[in-house]
Amino acid sequence: MTRRLRTLLWATRGLVVRLLREPILIRSLLWPPAVVVGALGGTVALALALAAPPRVGVTPAAQALGPALTAEGWVVVAVADPDAAVQSGAVSAATDGAAIWTRGDATAVERVVRRATGDAWYPASPASDAPAPAPAPATLGGWDLFAVPPRLIALLYTLYGAVFGLASVARDRDDGTLQAELATANPWWVFGAARWLAPTLVLGVAVSGTIALIGAILGGDSSGAIFRHAWASVAGATAIGLIAVGHRGMAQGMSTALSAALVAVTALVGIGVRAPQVGAFLPIASLAAGGAGWYPLGSALLAGGASAVAFARSAGRG
């Protein structure tokens, strides 16, 4: 058994090295994080550039209020006619020291004016108020909005898993590598397990890095659960690809096998959406169903074992 495990580790290592030497594969792994950084980073930068602090107009008679208004986060602008300044949109609020003109929330301006005029009451500053309840998370179709991007990225890598699982067998069958491996004294399932492990490791690391990047930019869902769901999904999809390829090679055409694998992946996503109580236990489906992600990981391991057995049964054909 020790020799078989050693063979499995060396075969997996060799496949990982071969995968990472494929330029098209490297590009496919790097494009998602590049798009994430470009799109999300550009959006955040644009939002920050367009965001401007609120402007308040003060008349010459109210110039003494300037420092207090600045401390409240306002940009103080001198105006002669506060009403006209607000109406024109030049400022969000304006005051002459006694009255306030505003087109929005001017609580901070009111607080400063009331304090300056010695009123018995004025709106409390947020620092002295009781902590406000946390706002409800933004949602999209019932989902936490920040939970959507990492799941979509994980689904993209899941589709990669189905393709990698197919290609890892079909390519080696065509170039003779598979036949050379099967001619050794090792059990055939060892090479099937290696072809499941190698793409799973490569894709798992890539999807984890991309999800962590999304979490760093958006501050969204980067908990351990989403990483478990992602690893379970790429592992399950790779197993589906290995099972779907059967005895085919690239020269025989992969459209049927690829279609079958993608249909299986889509069906599992549908289960997660329509039957989350079931999908929470299945790889790929759990991306939509949610949960802690431990059960899908276990199911993915079983799927990997099944794919190694399926590989062993079909390895000598074609």
Three-state DSSP state, 77: strand
Among candidate residues 182, 192, 186, the one with its CA nearest the CA of residue 2? 186
DSSP assignment, residue 251?
G
Is the pLDDT at 213 greater than 70? The verdict is yes
pLDDT in the model for residue 29 = 87
* CA–CA gap between residue 66 and residue 60 (Å, rounded): 10
Mean pLDDT of the chain: 83
pLDDT band at 7, cuts 50/70/90?
A: confident
pLDDT in the model for residue 39 = 80
pLDDT in the model for residue 221 = 54
Q: For 35-54, how does the pLDDT look when each residue is reduced to its tens digit (9 = 90+)?
A: 877 887 787 777 776 766 78
The angle formed by the CA atoms of residues 240, 245 and 250, to the nearest 5 degrees, is 135
> How many residues appear in the chain?
318
Mean pLDDT for 101-123 is 77
| Cβ–Cβ under 8 Å, residues 37 and 75 | no
pLDDT in the model for residue 222 = 55
Convert 177-214 to b/e letters by CB count within 10 Å (16 or more is b): ebeebeeeebebbbbbbbbbbbbbbbbbebbbebbebb
Residue that is written with structure tokens 């004016």 in the block? 113
DSSP assignment, residue 244?
H
| Cβ–Cβ under 8 Å, residues 235 and 283 | yes
Mean pLDDT for 184-200 is 90
pLDDT in the model for residue 128 = 44
pLDDT band at 186, cuts 50/70/90?
A: confident
| Phi, psi torsion values for 80, nearest 5 degrees | -90, -40
Convert 34-47 to b/e letters by CB count within 10 Å (16 or more is b): eebeeebeeeeeee
Q: For 161-182, how does the pLDDT look when each residue is reduced to its tens digit (9 = 90+)?
A: 999 988 888 888 877 888 888 8
Q: For 237-294, how does the pLDDT look when each residue is reduced to its tens digit (9 = 90+)?
A: 999 999 988 766 555 567 888 899 999 999 999 999 899 999 999 999 999 888 889 9
Which sign, positive or negative, has the C-alpha torsion 142, 144, 147, 153? positive
pLDDT band at 215, cuts 50/70/90?
A: confident
Domain coordinates of the chain in residue numbers? Answer: 55-128, 142-314
Task: Count CA atoms within 13 Å of residue 136 on its CB side.
Answer: 4
The helix (H) or strand (E) run that includes residue 102 is: strand 100-102
DSSP assignment, residue 247?
T
Is the pLDDT at 22 greater than 70? The verdict is yes
| Cβ–Cβ under 8 Å, residues 191 and 299 | no
* End-to-end Cα distance, the chain: 29
Is the pLDDT at 127 greater than 50? The verdict is no
Mean pLDDT for 128-147 is 48
Q: Are strands 143-144 and 139-140 parallel, antiparallel or unpaired?
A: antiparallel
Residues whose CB is less than 8 angstroms from the CB of residue 253 and which lie 6 or more positions away in sequence, other chains included:
none
Residues whose CB is less than 8 angstroms from the CB of residue 36 and which lie 6 or more positions away in sequence, other chains included:
149, 153, 210, 213, 214, 217
Residues whose CB is less than 8 angstroms from the CB of residue 18 and which lie 6 or more positions away in sequence, other chains included:
none
